[in-house]
Amino acid sequence: GENVEQHPSTLSVQEGDSAVIKCTYSDSASNYFPWYKQELGKRPQLIIDIRSNVGEKKDQRIAVTLNKTAKHFSLHITETQPEDSAVYFCAPRNDMRFGAGTRLTVKP
Amino acid sequence: NAGVTQTPKFRVLKTGQSMTLLCAQDMNHEYMYWYRQDPGMGLRLIHYSVGEGTTAKGEVPDGYNVSRLKKQNFLLGLESAAPSQTSVYFCASSYVLAGFNNEQFFGPGTRLTVL
């Protein structure tokens, strides 16, 4: 089955700094690469996704980059704000296994 | 559109009791999933369904059963609850288009405590 690793497990940054979270997967058949955000006590929600035929996608302060050869994709958040504080999950292929999550804390 | 709804929101059971969690979606999605999330942990897939009348095991299926008799509903059953099943349960649904799986939409979760 799919092996998914997410790093780091926790990340603390100052407001305005950038944050990068990496997700490594094993299944070369994966063709859809989403990132979900889960605020405390809430349900996970999609924040950005990328298809296997695209290398990078950007949506305002959030971007996702994909390296299919190396089997990893990353979430980039620029100009971080306190409301970015949450747990972020990757889910390559989106149908089975989620990463263990990265707890991001943005300090004002 | 209500999206994905879950019933109940909270439940306390005694060891050995049984219960059924109900998930409903009104987006006509083919795929539905049940996850559990323990405190400070990620999401672990219990069972999933790729269509009405079909179900499959996920990562942690032991102690749970599921049924998908109607496309819009996915039921999760605990036949004999154990304290290790204390968790938050999330249901989700998604659609497939041109061979690609797509965004999962999650329900609000059910907080289950087994004493």
Residues B19-38 have a mean pLDDT of 96
Locate the chain B residue with the closest alpha carbon to A51.
Answer: B100
Q: Give A22-34 pLDDT, tens digit per residue.
A: 999 988 888 889 9
Q: What is the pLDDT of residue A43?
A: 97
Return the higher-pLDDT residue of A94 and B84. B84
Distance from CA of B18 to the nearest CA of A (A): 25
Q: What is the pLDDT of residue A95?
A: 59
Comparing C-alpha atoms, which of A26, A20, A23, A21 is closest to residue A1?
A: A26
Residues A43-70 have a mean pLDDT of 93
Distance from CA of A102 to the nearest CA of B (A): 9
The span from the CA of B26 to the CA of B32, in Å, is: 12
Q: What is the pLDDT of residue A94?
A: 58
Q: How far apart are the first and last CA of chain B?
A: 36
Say whether pLDDT at A60 is over 90. Answer: yes
Q: How far is CA A49 from the centre of its chain?
A: 9
CB contact under 8 A, A89 and B107: no
Q: What is the pLDDT of residue A1?
A: 59
| For chain B, percent of residues with pLDDT exceeding 90 | 86
